[in-house]
Amino acid sequence: MLSRKQIAAGIGLLAALVQPAAAEESAPDYAATTLTGDWGGTRSSLWRQGIALEAGLKLDSLRNRGGLRDGGQTVSHLELKLRADLEKLLGWNSTIAYINTDTDGGAGINARRTGSLAGVSNIEVPVPTTRLFHAWLQKGFLDDRLLVLAGIYPIDSEFFTMDSAATLLYPAYGTPADLALTNAPSVFNNAAFGIRAKWLSGNREFYAMGALMDGVPNDPARPKATAIRFAKGDGAFVIGEIGWTPLETGHVFEPVDPARVRPSPELAAHEKYGGISKYAIGFWRYGNPVQDQVDVDANGNPIQRRSQGGYLLAERTLFSLGSEAGRDVTAFGRYAFSSGHATAIDRMWNLGVRIRGPFAGRTDDSLALGWTRNRLAPKWRSAQQAAGTGTASAEEAFEITWRAAITPWFALQPNLQYVRHPGGGSAARNATLIGARVELTF
């Protein structure tokens, strides 16, 4: 006998699956799911006209023992979002505009305490600043099977992503560590101007996408500013990915842009009750060469080489937990590789598992465990050895975190991390970090 909760969940999922792409969607329940509510109905009215407004705040407070030195720090991340459906607003068929500003502050826990090559918090930034992180237009063609986007665009919003790993705080579950250490890729919180094209199969089961980006985002001489600057020597950055998402077959009601705003009830039901399946392969390359860490020419000058690499990833929901809908176990894995001519890391492995609804009655909670191994590039190790510094073969990180949804707009997330050989030095103290993330949706 099915319970009333199961029946309600099934009805919600069925509604999502059969929702026609062109049908009028219901507005999100802002009153129940955001701290500031529906503003007297204004937000829902704007949403129906094609404008979605949202803001969110994250605070990471972690205490470190080991690494560079013991102690605690707090970092913050405030984002403001506006997504505009220009078909509804202006009659521009299949056109979306999106603006996202990030304000990031606080003293860096990794920079001051841990010293990990990959970092320990995915909201920590080198320089506190407010920047445009997204500012783009996207136009759809062929019934939105071909999508072309242009503007300020971070590649980590779509490329190499693993949704089941997103709960974890360790940065390398987002941008692979080997790529993150290259010459400023267009990722958090330093996005570049570029063009992205994406193709989707008719049933949304297969996709292919590629992006051509400015090789150096913003202006390195003004690290707090947002700038579209094509300076001589910047070069270009290209990335491509193809993938298969078998569980997404037929879900044509889903948005096909990398904007992240509160979804409609139909999409929210699919995200809550649907599983995850994704298998992808990608490659990237810089057009601008950089100095090799070891190799020199006949005159003793460092040889100039272009950085390049790629990745393989997979994530899949394995099974459900109990009879309550929305509770499941998903595993993920990713392998990333690069040339390693100019970076400290040339290979990376991610493995982990996410458990949604680990206990009955807590379907909005999420428990995640992850392990990452960052292999230190042979050339980097040689350069360190020549400078008299001993190195380990890899930097490894273990993490366990629990995102507890206290309310639909407030989450508290205890976090524990253990980093072996932070910074890659053989004499470095292993680091243990304990703390929590606070998350608010306004």
Residue ranges making up the domain that contains 149: 4-441
CA atoms within 13 A on the CB side of 94: 14
Measured CA to CA, the distance from residue 115 to residue 427 in angstroms comes to 13
Measured CA to CA, the distance from residue 278 to residue 270 in angstroms comes to 16
CA atoms within 13 A on the CB side of 104: 23
Which one-letter DSSP state was computed for residue 187? B
pLDDT at 26: 85
What pLDDT digit, counting tens, does each position of 224-272 carry?
A: 888 888 888 889 999 999 999 998 887 887 888 999 998 888 788 777 7
φ/ψ region of 340 (left if φ > 0, alpha if ψ in -120 to 50, else beta) reads left
Residue written as token pair 């993490």: 399
pLDDT at 36: 96
Q: Which two tokens stand for residue 321?
A: 């937990």
| Amino acid at the residue 191 | A
Residue written as token pair 């008299």: 388
Q: pTM here?
A: 0.90
Q: Sign of torsion, CA 161 172 261 315?
A: positive
For the chain, the residue count is: 442
Measured CA to CA, the distance from residue 442 to residue 433 in angstroms comes to 29
Residue pLDDT tens, the chain, 442 long = 334 344 344 434 434 433 433 345 689 999 999 999 999 999 999 999 999 999 999 999 999 999 999 999 999 999 999 999 999 999 999 999 999 999 999 888 999 999 999 999 999 999 999 999 999 999 999 999 999 999 999 999 999 999 999 999 999 999 999 999 998 899 999 999 999 999 999 999 999 999 999 999 988 888 888 888 888 888 999 999 999 999 888 788 788 899 999 888 878 877 777 889 999 999 999 999 999 999 999 888 999 999 999 999 999 999 999 888 889 999 999 999 999 999 999 999 999 999 999 999 899 999 999 999 999 999 999 999 999 999 999 999 999 999 999 999 999 999 999 999 999 999 999 999 999 999 999 9
Q: What is the CATH number of the domain that holds 310?
A: 2.40.160.180
Interhelix angle 4-18/265-273, rounded to 10 degrees, is: 120
Residue written as token pair 């390398």: 172
Q: Which two tokens stand for residue 203?
A: 């049933």
Cis amide leading into 299 (omega within 30): no
What pLDDT digit, counting tens, does each position of 338-371 carry?
A: 999 999 999 999 999 999 999 998 999 999 999 9
pLDDT at 6: 40
pLDDT at 10: 42
Number of domains in the chain: 1
pLDDT at 24: 57
pLDDT at 140: 97
| Rounded alpha-carbon distances, angstroms, from residue 405 to 122, 195, 210, 215 | 20, 36, 35, 39
User: What's the gap between Cα 173 and its chain centre?
Assistant: 8
Q: Which two tokens stand for residue 273?
A: 């009750």
